Structure 1
């Protein structure tokens, strides 16, 4: 057993019994490398990563490999979810070296942490051979390595730096239109998403495109977004039996997923489907929301109100071996036995045919027709088919629960919890199900109690009643966003005041005045080999774009010109550099806030909450909502409460219309 046995991360604990003398990323491990003048192997992964498990089994569990690693290297294992700062730095290095990245991420560095070689997954012999060569070079010609390390280090430092040009230029709405037109060339009109494989859901892309289509009244673009959301919901990437989405699809039709289920995907997708349901009323979207939140509550909610991180891609198969997707796939004899006389109809719905076949006789359930279409083909009522589908899924669920479940990553991460909190609030807005708000509030109190210290900082992680890692910008950004969202459905100003407190802390400890962006790590933390300013939106939007949207909204609520200026300046620096809009979709969403369509609405009066629910059930992405049932000290609401009346104030560009008590007129003005 190595030093990882002392850690709480499920990923690190998976490696605790490897013969490799793994250490965790900490000052002692890094100091040992310098003291002994040894190269460092930094191996980064996460608990639900399939190829991380494969490399562990092939190499890190092998004594021959361990002997090579232990003899000549200081070996450090990193959970990328616990240490996204470390992962980001070495991911930049890999992208420079080999032009791509992924996990497992394996890097060899000098004793000071500067990288000299790396890649992703390696087979045993290649891994051993390369390590041997690197050690030989380090002994015979260390100056060559140091020269290369310095050049690479300079390259890493330059990646992602956006020059702060201090241009106070108007936000060009036409540029956004041009970027969307350029983006459309890559749309897959058959299956939705981008015309490539593998396919990631990228919920923020469709959050933006949905809003853009709505505001521009672009019905063709709206159709594309709905095709995408429908195909994702029909695909094997969505677990129709138990709810929840897997991380991505390996093919172009959303059929066969990499089977891990991540909290951050499901939180964002619930928010996306909630917005889409508000706009379309599509019952399929409601089903997706309800099933996903049921899955999250059942499988990922801890007793304290926090959310666990993930379910693994791998699970034990019938032969008791770990196998990717073993928990989720079906063979025809099993299905016939479970479904019985309805098997032929079931096969039509879920494509137990060549379209739905994966490999080795395994089927991943996928739809390519609506229940309406299949009901017509079989001359049965849609309601009858809907009932049958629910019955089939219940039978499959009962049978599947007898299998060995995927392993659970039972740590809690602050940012991911806040993403899921926001998902529950957005679902509450769309469906008005009180339980969703209850769970969101429960999670918010969990964050405040366990992840927000008396010194004002957030922690990043929580497990076994311990938080050990200082929070990153992503933690602040998403918690602030979650608290703002709670305010929008409760009108409790406590949530805005908490959000403001965290924002002020972020400005003090993360904001880089010179660059005009927020650093990913606090200025109280020990510096890595380079700083990281996250500006590109990925599967999770960039922490800077999340903060930009928070600052925009809080600037309005608190009439804080500094918040507004920081948000606008970031956006002004980003927009001229956008060539691939899919990588900046959250920034583009922020840019839409500066269009003539954007408005603010204040609801003041005893019935404010009643109207709040009605407003939140509408798709109004261009409206910032505030309200109160009493006299308020919030600057945006100051002097707007009149006893005995419920008044609506519509504002734009800091100018408000005459207050009205006509709700229907107000709604028509906003839509």
Structure 2
């Protein structure tokens, strides 16, 4: 029988009525496969995954498919968001077998869990034919399958280890320049991002490129970052009506997305747009920040002030059938009836024309391709008038769209994604000086502390309806530590720094491998999978090891801890010589930039420290790490630096500090002069 009704993952519950005898991943299921000597089907997806829904409808709801699967296989459904560790191992297997990966991810394994065959989306006939052939081979020539599984397993284990380079080479600025120069060849100069489709936003890459371009005064790179952020904000991928970004676009102009909206994307994009706003004061970036926060609050906020995981790509259309993008798209006739006399101008702004046409559905997905300044000029109206009209149009469409049937919600909360949102809110607060954004970040921190941090010292990975389950993975610790450090830097509340240090020490005890010199994705307390996994390459989300490197860098300064410094420098020394494609290691390269001579530390001390730190934080200063205190403190970096009679500002580099300044204006001038000299 299908056992998924016992689970609380929205993705698993979506499959609870399938005729497949699905089981969840657990010791009992794995033992069942071994005892009965059955091949295992491991099918991995997530609630917002469009092609997962397609395969479910075509295959997993089909009685004929169920007959094939139920007669011979132990079938396991896995929510990749609940179990990223399982997903990572079997994704490696698929990539070895086929050279590509994605979701749904479907793997056939021996009874001991070692994979022998798999892929992503399969049509019904492909799927059943393959399963029948594999079962026949298992019955008639199991030795052949075992031999293949052993070779594949060796490959998975090899990929799972950190590849070390024996070179004594010291990574240089010249090598970094060569990597960036090679990287630039893939830039799409017209629409931003990369010259390919589908098109992912890659916030970690954008954050590094912004930093590198700013610190090296490379205007071509900064122009690429701004082109990317502007074109992404113009709509399609960004929901200009309600706010929030979809996961990626299927075309090169950021127009037609796969419409699922993920918390982790929107959290990270808050940070990149906030930093870009600090650098440019571009009002478009401010609008994106505010709309994205509004989307998160309206659609993803849970009752404990944390945030849910995602909204589905699919929603019910007028015929009551699930359809991708139905909630977000419009017909020309609809828009004319809503906007009446303003339709022509609206059509000019949002391209109700061949540029904005979604051919497959005969609908339109709203997208700009010109600035409001250009459009206002062409139509002989003021920019302010057009801005007000655009705001009113969006409000009209929002009210009408509220009457539509919403996309399905994945109502579990994930620790790592909520931690990313803490940083997104804090960065938004720094840029816009809106106290509400900081309050939201503190609320999430309290949610994590109260609901997801076990009294035994470990973090939980997920939360849903007062239940926290699945022990945390490295990503949960890495992003939560980063979030607490970020909160300390704006509140100067020492408890956040203590929390960060406590979780870091837990990671060093339970995740760090002295031989590999990296952190394993899973704790030593966890049940072993068929191979170890060390998350090294930055992707849509930065690698948890690279985030831990940044955390150790900051904490090594605050606590003057030489062991923290040794660990992150060892990781860098192994990673840097192996880099071929900078895009896969951008967060590592940012960590490397922290080791350069122009990296600074700034201590802001005094009774007015909190007010003064705001004036520092609202500037784009990526090469400065800040600390501060409004009273005496035990933080080693701040020892003997507080004076209740006056404010003091210590600008330091490589643990050597200049004579303290007593005026905030002087320290800002000094920082800006140092930037101009470099």
> Structure 1-normalised TM-score?
0.99
| DSSP 3-state at the match of 1:344 | helix
1:214 positional shift: 0.5
Is residue 454 of structure 2 the alignment partner of residue 449 of structure 1?
Answer: no
1:642 positional shift: 1.1
Matching residue of 1:539:
540
**C-alpha distance in 1 between matches for 2:511 and 2:165:** 20
Point out the more displaced range, 157-166 or 628-637: 157-166
Matching residue of 1:152:
152
1:176 positional shift: 1.6
**C-alpha distance in 2 between matches for 1:343 and 1:50:** 32
1:172 positional shift: 2.1
Matching residue of 1:196:
196
**C-alpha distance in 2 between matches for 1:89 and 1:126:** 24
1:662 positional shift: 2.5
Matching residue of 1:477:
478
| Residues matched between the structures, number | 671
1:160 positional shift: 4.5
Matching residue of 1:311:
311
**C-alpha distance in 2 between matches for 1:214 and 1:105:** 40
Matching residue of 1:135:
135
Matching residue of 1:366:
367
1:163 positional shift: 3.7
- Please show how residues 91-490 of structure 1 align to structure 2 within 5 Å: 91-164=91-164, 170-359=170-359, 360-490=361-491
Matching residue of 1:606:
607
> Structure 2-normalised TM-score?
0.98
Q: 1:160/1:582 Cα in 2 relative to 1: closer, same or farther (>3 Å)?
A: farther
Q: 1:182/1:490 Cα in 2 relative to 1: closer, same or farther (>3 Å)?
A: same
1:607 positional shift: 0.5
1:257 positional shift: 0.3
Contact 1:305 1:443 (C-alpha < 8 Å) held by counterparts = yes
1:597 positional shift: 1.6
**C-alpha distance in 1 between matches for 2:373 and 2:597:** 40
Structure 1: 5+ residue stretches without partners: none
| DSSP 3-state at the match of 1:139 | helix
| DSSP 3-state at the match of 1:67 | helix
**C-alpha distance in 2 between matches for 1:388 and 1:256:** 24
Is residue 512 of structure 2 the alignment partner of residue 516 of structure 1?
Answer: no
Contact 1:168 1:569 (C-alpha < 8 Å) held by counterparts = no
**C-alpha distance in 2 between matches for 1:72 and 1:600:** 62
| DSSP 3-state at the match of 1:186 | coil
Q: 1:521/1:590 Cα in 2 relative to 1: closer, same or farther (>3 Å)?
A: same
Matching residue of 2:676:
none
- Please show how residues 590-669 of structure 1 align to structure 2 within 5 Å: 590-669=591-670
RMSD: 1.0
Contact 1:166 1:569 (C-alpha < 8 Å) held by counterparts = no
| DSSP 3-state at the match of 1:355 | coil
Contact 2:11 2:45 (C-alpha < 8 Å) held by counterparts = yes
**C-alpha distance in 2 between matches for 1:169 and 1:419:** 34
**C-alpha distance in 1 between matches for 2:408 and 2:582:** 36
Matching residue of 1:493:
494
1:11-33 residue CA offsets vs partner (Å, 9 max, x unmatched): 00000000000000000000000
Contact 1:315 1:322 (C-alpha < 8 Å) held by counterparts = yes
Contact 1:164 1:514 (C-alpha < 8 Å) held by counterparts = no
1:578-607 residue CA offsets vs partner (Å, 9 max, x unmatched): 111111111111111011221000001011
**C-alpha distance in 2 between matches for 1:171 and 1:165:** 12
**C-alpha distance in 2 between matches for 1:232 and 1:465:** 36
1:353 positional shift: 0.2
Matching residue of 1:47:
47
| DSSP 3-state at the match of 2:108 | strand
Contact 1:171 1:594 (C-alpha < 8 Å) held by counterparts = no
1:254-297 residue CA offsets vs partner (Å, 9 max, x unmatched): 00000000000000000000000000000000000000001101
1:30-73 residue CA offsets vs partner (Å, 9 max, x unmatched): 00000000000000000000000000000000011001100000
**C-alpha distance in 2 between matches for 1:374 and 1:341:** 17
